[in-house]
Chain A
Amino acid sequence: MSELLKVDKIKTEFQTDKGPVTSVDEVSFDLKEGETICLVGESGCGKSVTSLSIMHLLDRNGSVTEGSILFEDKDLAKATEAQMRKIRGNDISMIFQEPMTSLNPVLTIGDQLTEGIRLHMKYSKSEAKKYAIEMLKKVGIPRAEGIIDEYPHKLSGGMRQRVMIAMALSCKPKLLIADEPTTALDVTIQAQILELMKKLREESNTAIILITHDLGVVAEMADKVAVMYAGQVVEETDVYTLFDNPKHPYTLGLMESIPHITNPDDMRLTSIPGSVPSARNMPKGCRFYDRCPHAMERCLAEKPELKSIEDKQAHSIRCFLYENEEKDYEKKHAEKEVSS
């Protein structure tokens, strides 16, 4: 598998009346063909802004000010709007959280679906329509020949998300960015959509950046995971290592605070105290400092780097605990497990 995307220390800033606000800071990850990376984190952690930065879909006051986004050796951070137009919907496409608002209500499904096909694949009108019907069938829409002439309001949420997926995949993109694609859907519909995404991924070898806050979805879909907190990646590794051996105190806190249906009856949830710092007022040192149970003096003043901790697998963490105190911490954690 060859490298498809390499995001290297990007910084995204928004210019506001009160000065610039950094919402993504030093975010790096890379992705090979056919691989799925999940960006997880809570609201405001910068996971959506990261994906919008890749796609150049930021609001007018936002821009990538540092770092590079190498996609097939082209730097998207420096690409012009004209270059991006050729890439968007063609090499990289995106699906959004709200299938209700991301389809144009006054155009038929067919109009919206064939626009990109005709533009990027240079199909004639009738060829494009035939191809669009084929795509709708592929994503499991019944009566595709009829649905193609319908307007979006006729479809349910799950069906609309299927149309969005058909649209995103119609030009055979190399990279698909899915921003919370199932958050607005019911669980039984979510299971259908995830199943569909898995099937299509296998068929087309598309790489996926999946943005979600749901660790269940992460466990279902990801090859590797980047956990984000307050605009930074705090932990990155493959999905099995992340769930079997999470290291960063935030990742641990996140895992312990989810009420899950397989939890034992009397288990009490551990919550992370406090809330996420605001982007305007980021702490100088570690951004998790005031919520972290292991915070040290050093964390207040110094900024931790994202560093690899193991030689065998790729597992990087942004935390001082793992520089010298690794053994000490392991011991503490073991004690905690015994006592709880």
Chain B
Amino acid sequence: MNMPLDQVKPLLQVKHLKKYYPIKKGVISKTVGYVKAVDDVSFDIYPGETMGIVGESGCGKSTTGRSLVRLEDPTAGQIIFQGKDLANISHKEMRKLRTDLQIIFQDPYSSLNPRKRIGDLLAEPLLAHKLATKEEADKKVNEIMEIVGLPKQYKNRYPHQFSGGQRQRIGIARALMLRPKLIICDEPVSALDVSIQAQVLNLLKDLQKSLNLTYVFIAHGLGAVKYISDRITVMYLGKVMELATTRDIFENPKHPYTEILLNAYPIPNPHERNRNQMVIEGDVPSPANPPKGCVFHTRCPFAKDICREKAPELTGKAHLVACHFPIDERNA
């Protein structure tokens, strides 16, 4: 991604995406309220880039990712991909578009069918979309297995015969079978040990280069997100707090939440343990009952009256921030 963003056409555009889950109560299941998992999220994804989405649990990052491939039906908003609005097309049409949109899940233990051999698991997408005959699919399986670093003689094994890292490679291989343009990576390394995490992150990076892939990389581990992303979206309680290039997010964060998140991350250097840490009090409020005004005001050390009343808009051109009092050029 060297070209300035305004000269490239986005691959996918998310506009005012909302996903509300109804809260039902009583014998007739009356809807008494909504959990606002994703509440008015907008961003563009450009070809060849990696967009990282970070935030704490319950911030809506996974729901956002799943909505992009219509594993969740959005409540409102648009997802524009190749001239079509993914949020409002039929499931039949969506099925066709899934050849271009794939997803890798967090838990490599539960996202592979335990009764199927790896070869069959990998061939399935091609056969389901009627894109290849059995023989062609078989050839393709060999090819992809080699790309992700699995010996092809493992084809006849079942998922339980693999380690966590290998299973995640299988998950990646399955996503690659249809040669998609965009892959949603939903916490792909969170369940893996550190030495295996590095293997998988490096593999994802290499594949992106050689196959010209675009990623949406969802994670709560900031280190992994920084390593792989070109731009980062920081979410909190279903809303985007800040969106900027990886460098800006880490070197020049404007939203207090981003700064606190970066600061809370323990640094693997014992000489820095006595640094001034900003520890914020309290928990993330429930998305069923988000605070009025800015959703972060209950925990924000800089909150003023206006923050309790009015929700800030996400503003800015390349570096977007939703805060009434953004930290401006603090390091300048």
Q: Which residues of A contact B (CB under 8 A)?
A: 42-43, 156, 158-159, 186-192, 194-195, 213-220, 222, 239-240, 243, 253-263, 265, 268-273, 275-276
Chain A residue at minimum C-beta to C-beta distance from B246: A265
Q: CA–CA, A261 to B262, complex, Å?
A: 8
Contact B270 A239, beta carbon cutoff 8 Å: yes
Given contacts A191-B277, A257-B194, contact A220 B226 (CB under 8 A): no
Contact B279 A192, beta carbon cutoff 8 Å: yes
Which residues does chain A contribute within 8 Å of B56, judged by CB atoms? 186-189
CB-defined A-B contacts under 8 Å, sample of 14: A42-B195, A42-B196, A186-B57, A187-B264, A188-B280, A215-B194, A220-B266, A243-B269, A243-B270, A254-B195, A256-B198, A260-B268, A265-B247, A271-B202
Chain A residue at minimum C-beta to C-beta distance from B165: A275
Closest 6 A/B residue pairs (Cβ): A216-B266, A271-B198, A257-B198, A259-B227, A259-B223, A186-B56
Q: CA–CA, A276 to B260, complex, Å?
A: 35
Contact B222 A261, beta carbon cutoff 8 Å: yes
Chain A residue at minimum C-beta to C-beta distance from B268: A215
Which residues does chain B contribute within 8 Å of A263, judged by CB atoms? 223, 226-227
Contact A240 B264, beta carbon cutoff 8 Å: no
Contact A188 B260, beta carbon cutoff 8 Å: yes
Given contacts A186-B57, A219-B273, contact A259 B283 (CB under 8 A): no
Given contacts A188-B280, A222-B270, A261-B250, contact A271 B265 (CB under 8 A): no
Which residues does chain A contribute within 8 Å of B284, judged by CB atoms? 186
Which residues does chain B contribute within 8 Å of A255, judged by CB atoms? 268
Shortest A90–chain B CB gap in Å is 31
Q: CA–CA, A191 to B201, complex, Å?
A: 26
Q: A188-B260, A257-B194, A260-B268 provided; 11 other pairs, C-beta below 8 A?
A: A188-B279, A195-B279, A216-B267, A219-B266, A220-B270, A258-B194, A259-B223, A261-B222, A262-B267, A271-B196, A272-B198
Which residues does chain A contribute within 8 Å of B273, judged by CB atoms? 219-220
Q: Which residues of B contact A (CB under 8 A)?
A: 56-57, 163, 165-166, 193-199, 201-202, 220-224, 226-227, 246-247, 250, 260-273, 277, 279-281, 283-284, 299
Q: CA–CA, A271 to B246, complex, Å?
A: 22
Shortest B108–chain A CB gap in Å is 13
Shortest A96–chain B CB gap in Å is 19
Prevailing SS type, chain B contact patch = helix
Which residues does chain A contribute within 8 Å of B199, judged by CB atoms? 271-273
Contact B193 A42, beta carbon cutoff 8 Å: yes
Shortest B164–chain A CB gap in Å is 8
Q: Which of these, A186, A243, A261, contacts B223 with CB under 8 Å?
A: A261
Which residues does chain B contribute within 8 Å of A187, judged by CB atoms? 56, 220, 222, 261, 264-265
Q: CA–CA, A286 to B246, complex, Å?
A: 41
Contact B193 A259, beta carbon cutoff 8 Å: no
Contact B198 A190, beta carbon cutoff 8 Å: no
Q: CA–CA, A159 to B277, complex, Å?
A: 21
Shortest A220–chain B CB gap in Å is 5
Given contacts A186-B56, A187-B56, A190-B264, contact A272 B270 (CB under 8 A): no
Q: Which of these, B202, B262, B265, B283, contacts A189 with CB under 8 Å?
A: B283
Shortest A58–chain B CB gap in Å is 23
Which residues does chain A contribute within 8 Å of B281, judged by CB atoms? 192
Q: Which of these, A156, A217, A269, contacts B266 with CB under 8 Å?
A: A217
Which residues does chain A contribute within 8 Å of B280, judged by CB atoms? 188, 192
Contact B226 A261, beta carbon cutoff 8 Å: yes
Contact A186 B195, beta carbon cutoff 8 Å: no
